[in-house]
Every structure is written in C-alpha cells, then in structure tokens.
Structure 1
C-alpha cells in the first residue's frame, strides 16, 4: 500500500439517487493512504424489466485497477449470464458462477491490457482519488506529501516486510527514489546472484535499473492481474413471485473478502456477509491444503491479509485444484434475505476501512440516529454523548470535518437537513468517515485506510413487491465450468465463436478436467463474524510464487469431483431472514 500521507485527503466523492421505492447515498474518501484504491456501484436500474437494483463495494489492494475494472464490467457480466436470463432464475447460483468466471477473465490478454491501461493512466500502482490533484514536486501543496527524504525512510520501513516483487512494482521506475535504493533492489532482483549482479552493475553503472526496467516492461500486463486484487461485496435487490403468487422483495448478498453488508432490522444490525480472514479455521484449512501458509498476524504467505478476492492470481496457480480451492478464492458466500416492510429500514455496504473502526451495530446506530433523531432522544437518550449531540449532527451531517492532530477542519459543503432526501444519506456517509478517520498514523492503522460506504434506504417495499415478475428457484441448474487461471476465452469471444461455427481453442481446466460450481452450493461457513483487528495493509506473494503461475495448457482428462457442500449462514435471533441458500 505504500507510506501514508503527511495529512489525510478528506475530500469526499459523493453520489445519491432515488426511484419510487429506494433511495441511496454513497461516498468514498482517500484518507491517509497515498492512493485511493476503492470503487463502487449504485445501479437502481440494473434490470428495468425485473425492477432489480445492484449495489457493490470493491476494496482494492496492490493497486486500483482490478477494483475499477470490476465496477466498470462486473454488473454487465452478471446481467449477461445465460443463467440470469432464465425463468425461473437461481440468483444464488448465478452470483457464485459469475464471480468465479469473471475472475478467470482477468488473466485473459484482452483484460490484462485493459488493466494495464488503468494502471498506466495514473502511473505506477493505484489511481489517485477522482478529483484529487496529483502531488507536485514544488509549490504550496507540498505539505500534503511526506517531505522528501522522510518519505523514502517511511517507504523503506513500510516495505521492509513485503516481498521483493511488490517493492520492485512500487518503486522500480519512480524518479525520486535514490540510486542506492535502486541498486539495492536490482541486486535482490537478480535472484541472489550477487556476483553476477555486481559485474553487470559495474558495466552499466550509468543505466541504473535499465535491465530490470526492461524486464519489468515486458511483464507489466502479467502483474496487472496477478499481483493486484479486490474484495467484492455485491447486493442484488430482486422482487420475486412465489409459487403461491405472493410477491416479495429479496436481498441477495454475494461477498468475497472483508468488505461487509449489514441490514438494519428493527434497529438491530444483521450481518449479511462474512469477513473472509486467513486465520479463520475453514479459510486457513483451504489455504494450507493449497500449499500456502498463514502467519501469526493473519497473512497468506506473509502477504495478503484476506482469504477471498477477485484478482490476486499469484495465489491461484495450483492447476490440480478447483478455483474455489485455491489459496485465495473468488468463490463468494451468498445469503438470501426476504425483506420485511416496516421492519427493515436500510442496508449499509462498506469496506473494512469502516468496519475496522466500528462494529456493525455501532454503524447501524450511527445511521439510524441521524435518520430518526426523535427516536434517538426519546428511546435512548444515553446515546447523546456517544455522537456529540445527535440533534446537531443530524441537522447538519457534515458541518465540520474531522479533527487531525487537534485541528478541526471546516467543510464548505452545503448543509443538508432534509432527512427524506437521498442527499442526506450521502452526508451521513461523509460524517461516518469523519468519525472513523484517525487523527494521525501513529497507531495500528485503524482509521488510516481508504473508506467507502453505501446506504440504501427502503422507502416503499410494499409497492416494489407488487412489481415482481420474476420467479426464482433454489433447484440446481446447469453449472458453469470453473476455468483455470490461464483461461483466455472471454464470454464475448465464446459467443462469437459459437455464432460463426468456429472451433474454440482448448481452455485449461482447474481440475485437469471439467469442474463446476453447482447451483446453490455453499462453502460450509457457519455464520457471519465481526472482524475489527488488522491494519488493512495487503501485499502480493513472493517472486517465487509468482513465477510458478506460468503454466502450459493442461490436457483435459475425465475426472469426477465432489460438489461443494452446502451450509446455510446462520442469523441472529433478533432478525432471522429467510435463508435461500440451497
């Protein structure tokens, strides 16, 4: 992730919207991080025919490119799945297969090129937050960055425990890195052959890292998808028709990673997703079985500190394993919840920059008290002290910015006091960021991460239910083959191939044969948990692991594999949603 800024970027990128049934507010803030690596979707008209809405948060790591690519393409990819257009539809199976298949496309040459274009558009690594100016070498804005010299020391300290490939990716071509650091990195890049590296450096002293840079240029497309990844927490709101003709609105949440979706039901927080952490027993068992290790501080191969993600193909190189069984898996947990009109108030989706600072219930309380200030006083007056006078922060959700090292910042944003406006939801997101933001970077990293939050308010679930035209099923349907990391056929290419009668090239299977995620299958996790520990820093695996990803095409062989076992996610007794996982 790199070193922190000397002062946080507290500008917020905020959106809001509404239709006849739903309102949403969303915002993101770069914070103390040097780059903004989050992305999100808010699509009220995701499927106009079915009146389905789509909301998602993608928390990138190692760069912003995969998160941004997901935001740009995953909704369309899901909507264009043949299984999604069927009636009845199995949303649980569609979401699971879409995640895994979309992840496989990230290593195709076409997508690698697009990922590298995203990277190159803003320089090495991640994209800065939209609307934020790039740091200048001279001028009045220099105090937004760590001073020269100190930045190098901070970067060295931050990268000391990271794999050398990650360090090279971050600093291989940055002009203000010292020649000493460059030569040091070059010697490590030479696979430990110091004698050979020394002789080469003596002959090409003036060229610095010319040899390494040339090699890096030829492999940047590979690194774009292998060393960069993102969480994905997707919420699909879908009006449904039951067999008895009763109409309802169901909420499907598909999650891979440690972003989280939480439902406010009768003021209680109900986790609709599970934080996927390497130290969890079931996650650790899969990682170890795939040949990986989990460190004492919860990192896979001393790198990534989450166990499921899109991208990160450095960790998905075992050609004898299904994609769901790789060290880092793209297979999401999917939960189904029937929404209860008058009881379910709103949904919040956020990255771990929020959840590392506040629990699910604390976030629900924070939002609820601002949407219903009269109840905050009448029913629970003790909460006044917790949020510095709820009536003031409700009338003006972001009147003041966060305090940074004792200095209160004043926001010039217009003051929004109409609680029914979708804009008010986005101001609550902004106030939530200010609440979570750390005053400095001297702690354990809590409050120093990028922050993204979406609040979806259920304005009229009864009317939305009457619009239902879709019938759903939990029965198994034709499953989608799980392709290996070096699959190169995109769905669009597959369609063109079928329409022209052309023969498709052989696609390697993750099982040396045909493997699939069966409809409604689950991963056997026992239920959602709240994870508040961890700094949020992430890094790719070692160069040795990355090198093992270069694999020749695999010949398909018939082989029988057991389907993934199904285990529903348990809920809190306060709010027991309808469990639709098959």
Structure 2
C-alpha cells in the first residue's frame, strides 16, 4: 500500500511538472532555425549546430575556445543541456572553463603542462576539472538569489572535452554523451548518468530519495547535474552524496594518429541515434562534405526527422585521421538523390490529388534502397524528398514537418 501511494504521488508530480512546462511540452510545429558554426586551430577542426526543435524553449547552451589563455595549444568544447529553464546552462557555458583553469591544482601546474604530460600532471588536470564542476555548483547557489531561494529551479547536464597536444580529457555529467571514433570504429563513449543505474540509485536512496518511473523522486530524468538545488538539500551530506550529484566522470585518452573524430552531443541526438548510427552517418558525411558546420546541421535535421522531440546540439571535432571527401562518395550520393527524385516523381504522378506527403513517405519507407546513408537512412534524404514533392504537388504546405514524429511518443527527458 505504501509503495502504491508513493507511485501515485510520483505520477502526480510528474504530470504537474509536465503541465507546468518543466519537462518539455511540445510546440505544434518544430522551430527548425539553427545556430551553426565551424572553426579550426591547434591541429583540429570543429563544427557545431543546434536547433530548438519541438520544445517550447531552447535550453541548450555551448562553449568553444580554441587556444586557452595560458595554454595556447589547448582547446575546450562543451555542450550544456538545460532543463526547467536555461539559466544554469547559460552560467556554466560562460564560467565553467574559467572555474576549471583558475582552480588551485590547475594554476599550480599550468607552467609545466607541455607537449607530453606525466601521470602526475594528468591527475592534476583531472582533479582540476572535478574541482571546477564542484566549485561552480557551489558558487552558483550562493551567488544568484533566485537559485538560492528556489525561485529558479533550473539545472543542466554537461559534456566537455579539454584537448591538449597529447591527451583528451572528457568530462561527463548527466545524459549528454561523448563518442570518440578511432581506426574505423567507435573507440570510446561516456556512460549516461541515469537514476536506474545501480550506483546512482544507491546514492539517491542513501540520501533519502527514491527512483520512480526511472526518475529521481519521480521527477528528474538524470542523476547528476549542475544546479537542480531542490535535490541537494540533505543536511550533513557533501554535494557528491546528494540525490543529484554535481561530480563529473572524467576520462583521459591519449591521442592516437588513427583518431578520426569526437562528437559531443545532448540527448536530443542520442534519443534517436545509437553511438554506431552517429559514427556511421558522420563518416558518410565526411566523405561528401568538407564544411563541418554543414555536417552538424545535417545530423540535426536527420535526428529531427527520425523523431527527436528535444532541443538538439552537437560538436564535431575532427583529427588528422578523419576521412576526407572523395569523388566516388560524392558521385554515389548524387546518384542516390537522382534515384529518389525519380521515384518520388513516379509515385506522385500515378496517384491522385489526395496523395499526401505522409502517403509518399510510407511508400518510400517500404521500398528497398541501395546505398542509403548508414545511420541516417531515408530520413537523411528528407530534404530531397520534400523539395521534389512540393514541386509536384498542389499542396504548398505539406505535412512533412510532423510526418515522421507524430507516430512517436513524446519524449520528456530531463
């Protein structure tokens, strides 16, 4: 009976948060404008893109700095997936890097952080990253009255990469994710911090909380985050032992000449793509497109058409071993586009005026296609299909914006 009462209360709280907009209600149509960027330096190139999508507000934030103030050959990339508002995510995008580099461990060793790092120096950087997260989480709570009072209840996940000449320092907090690709395969990926994970659940329970419907106290979908101070109120317990912990997992990888690329992305991407899907699709894109910002934009469009209902943001950082554009790959992609256009023309031509974009996608989906983008599938060719359909159809406003997502249940992550 007690368990049933707790479950009922958890569901009521879940529904209240959903109604209040704290868990990501959806728009009638997605906002598809994107912020896209690219750059290079320190022997690497990067692209970035983000989209609000179906969510009522854009709560993702990001940070990039190629060349740190005291370490010109180091770079920093980060994606912050905010929830219940964007304030904490925005503060972290602005202040986290500086909080890390100004920590006592970092400043003590910064003059010695050369091309090759010793084990002691690596450990010092890892400690600096962890201290930076913990220090910023504490400073935000005491420096912003609306966070201290609980008026603003926002929080954020974080996925960050601090890149030196010899090493990658990858910090993960929450359910955004990093994937490192090397030697033609996914070499490493971070683990999402979810309440159902045994270690996370144990900490939550020991702090007096519970895990209901895969959420902390039936509400929050991640077990580690910056902000979210309503889950950090247990007396006589340090911040790392609260229901929601601000302590990141930091992984160190030595650079390798076969490193291809690193992806940092929020869960709006991973909701609809596996690590292998994204690796395969990015690799396909790298063989036909040189602009990394465009590749990131294409990934986001594809995820939207695969059914992502969340904000979407991702960085793509490429290394010397990344695939290069080839004439053969571009020719195959163009041939596929021509085949798709011809098939759309055939299907629209033989059907009546009531033939909708939904009908077209249904017909195209059941057909056998050769050389569709791996990991992206037919959704990666949505733009080609839609543009052709609009040219041929009397309907200027097709239902293509909602076609592939309407059949999917709304995701209310975070």
Measured against the shorter chain, the TM-score band is 0.5 to 0.7
Shift of 1:534: 9.4
Residues 527-566 of structure 1, C-alpha deviations (whole Å, 9 max, x = no match): xxxxxx993433xxxxxxxxxxxxxxxxxxxxxxxxxxxx
SS in 1 for 2:224: coil
* Residue 144 (structure 2) aligned to one of 106, 111, 123: 111
Are 1:330 and 2:246 counterparts? yes
SS in 1 for 2:104: coil
* Residue 223 (structure 1) aligned to one of 150, 157, 163: 150
Q: Tell me if structure 2 keeps the 8 A contact 1:13–1:28.
A: yes
Specify the alignment match of 1:429 in structure 2: 296
Are 1:234 and 2:137 counterparts? no
Distance 1:335 1:105, change over 3 A: same
Residues 325-377 of structure 1, C-alpha deviations (whole Å, 9 max, x = no match): 11100001110000101x101100000000110001110111111112xxxxx
* Residue 87 (structure 2) aligned to one of 65, 82, 87: 65
Specify the alignment match of 1:346 in structure 2: 261
* Residue 174 (structure 2) aligned to one of 254, 257, 272: 257
* Residue 78 (structure 2) aligned to one of 50, 56, 63: 56
* Residue 44 (structure 1) aligned to one of 50, 53, 66: 66
2:228, 2:310 → 1: CA distance? 20
Shift of 1:272: 3.6
Specify the alignment match of 2:186 in structure 1: 269
Q: Tell me if structure 2 keeps the 8 A contact 1:54–1:237.
A: yes
Distance 1:336 1:2, change over 3 A: closer
2:71, 2:25 → 1: CA distance? 47
Distance 1:20 1:293, change over 3 A: closer
Specify the alignment match of 1:356 in structure 2: 271
Q: Tell me if structure 2 keeps the 8 A contact 1:47–1:53.
A: no
Q: Tell me if structure 2 keeps the 8 A contact 1:103–1:310.
A: yes
Higher relative contact order (CA 8 A, sep 6+): 1
Q: Tell me if structure 1 keeps the 8 A contact 2:203–2:242.
A: yes
Q: Tell me if structure 2 keeps the 8 A contact 1:66–1:229.
A: yes
Are 1:74 and 2:107 counterparts? no
1:100, 1:292 → 2: CA distance? 21
Are 1:13 and 2:47 counterparts? no
1:363, 1:534 → 2: CA distance? 22
1:90-489 to 2 correspondences below 5 Å: 90-108=124-142, 110-112=143-145, 222-224=149-151, 227-239=153-165, 249-295=166-212, 297-341=213-257, 343-372=258-287, 394=288, 417=289, 419=290, 424-438=291-305, 447-459=308-320
Shift of 1:107: 1.0
SS in 1 for 2:144: helix
Shift of 1:438: 4.4
1:435, 1:363 → 2: CA distance? 10
1:224, 1:13 → 2: CA distance? 29
Q: Tell me if structure 2 keeps the 8 A contact 1:271–1:360.
A: no
Residues 133-175 of structure 1, C-alpha deviations (whole Å, 9 max, x = no match): xxxxxxxxxxxxxxxxxxxxxxxxxxxxxxxxxxxxxxxxxxx
Specify the alignment match of 1:505 in structure 2: none
Greater strand content: 2
SS in 2 for 1:106: helix
Shift of 1:12: 0.4
1:2, 1:358 → 2: CA distance? 20
Name stretches of at least 5 consecutive residues in structure 2 with no aligned partner: 1-22, 113-120, 323-408
Per the normalisation by structure 1, the TM-score is: 0.49
Shift of 1:2: 4.3
Specify the alignment match of 1:212 in structure 2: none
Q: Tell me if structure 1 keeps the 8 A contact 2:181–2:188.
A: no
Q: Tell me if structure 1 keeps the 8 A contact 2:42–2:66.
A: no
Distance 1:369 1:2, change over 3 A: closer
Q: Tell me if structure 2 keeps the 8 A contact 1:65–1:224.
A: no
* Residue 411 (structure 2) aligned to one of 515, 535, 548: 535
Q: Tell me if structure 2 keeps the 8 A contact 1:50–1:238.
A: no
Name stretches of at least 5 consecutive residues in structure 1 with no aligned partner: 116-220, 240-248, 373-393, 395-416, 440-445, 462-532, 539-582
2:69, 2:264 → 1: CA distance? 20
Shift of 1:319: 1.9
1:534, 1:76 → 2: CA distance? 37
1:232, 1:20 → 2: CA distance? 23
Distance 1:534 1:316, change over 3 A: farther
Q: Tell me if structure 1 keeps the 8 A contact 2:168–2:253.
A: yes
Q: Tell me if structure 2 keeps the 8 A contact 1:22–1:460.
A: no
SS in 2 for 1:83: helix
1:292, 1:270 → 2: CA distance? 35
Shift of 1:48: 5.0
Which has the higher Rg, Structure 1 or Structure 2?
1
